[in-house]
Amino acid sequence: MDVVDNSTLPWNSFPECPGLPDLSTAETHGLLDLPNGVQMWHAIFGVPLKVTLNQQKAPLVFLHGGVSHSGYHGHQIRHFVSRYTIIVYDLRGHGKSPLGPDAKLTYDRLTEDLLGLLNHYSIPKAAFIGWSEGCVVSWSFLSQHPHRVERAFHYSAIDDYRKTDAERVSQIQGVKDYFSRMEHEWQVLNPDAEYGKFIGSYVDMWMREPSWNVDTFSNVPARGEDRKAPIIWVVTADHDDWIPPETHRRFQSYIRNSSFLEMPGTGHMAFMQTPNMYNKVLEAFLEDGTSTKARL
């Protein structure tokens, strides 16, 4: 019998980071000083933001996973850049964003950062595309500011830190490889900063947050019951062994009339492992209902 090399399976692959498009093509990029004292590195690509807002459409905001950076959504940015305004940013301490002055991180504070970004550009509503840690931030934002969410593509998040089986996940080879690479990339981007301080601040938060349930999202209007309700997709992959599969069904139960999708033959990093399929799924998400015209 032939020996199977499981490393060739899509869900076991760990492709190189695609990176952002050339920043010279961006409408703007750099550090943004937020009212809360945080500096956020961000970039805007594609259709000029002013055009999108004048047409009452929602720009796309991509939110990256923990310990990574905005360059990991490079395939999606290049795919959609000719049709949409695309905003990316690095979470506090990630990529080119400094960790900031807060000694103790919370998802409320990360949510405040995102709100500050939207307010700075006078964006009434946005379409959020979140992965992993960025997806948790997107869920947090939805719970607090549902009227600012036109739609949200929630891929591979957690709702309760006590139900993640962190010890098991930490032993997955792909997880070990991921954190090893992310540490190296972080140090390249932050040669004068201390990785231990950065990762320690996030691990501390992950050991106490989030802890959500249906009541957390009780203020989110339901699609079909309110014309201003956001379109919510809860998305997972059939070989995402980083997140307990029942997590996504719980999330779907939190938002009435939200949609659930399990992508086949891919894993936790589907946007890189199977980018063509991931982009087609995003196409369907963006075409769902009212396109990305913000319902004001």
Q: Which CATH class is domain 22-287?
A: alpha beta
Mean pLDDT along residues 179-205: 95
Whether the per-residue pLDDT at 4 is higher than 60: the answer is no
Q: In the structure, what pLDDT confidence band is assigned to residue 296 with cuts at 50, 70 and 90?
A: low
CA 212 from chain centre, in angstroms, equals 18
Q: Which amino acid is at 259?
A: S
pLDDT at 165: 82
pLDDT at 290: 67
As a whole number of angstroms, the distance between CA 23 and CA 155 comes to: 26
Q: Which amino acid is at 279?
A: N
As a whole number of angstroms, the distance between CA 43 and CA 213 comes to: 33
pTM for the whole structure? 0.95
Whether the per-residue pLDDT at 3 is higher than 90: the answer is no
Tens digits of per-residue pLDDT, 219-233? 999 999 999 999 999
Whether the per-residue pLDDT at 103 is higher than 90: the answer is no
CA 54 from chain centre, in angstroms, equals 26
pLDDT at 167: 84
Whether the per-residue pLDDT at 56 is higher than 70: the answer is yes
Domains in the chain: boundaries = 22-287
DSSP code, position 268: T
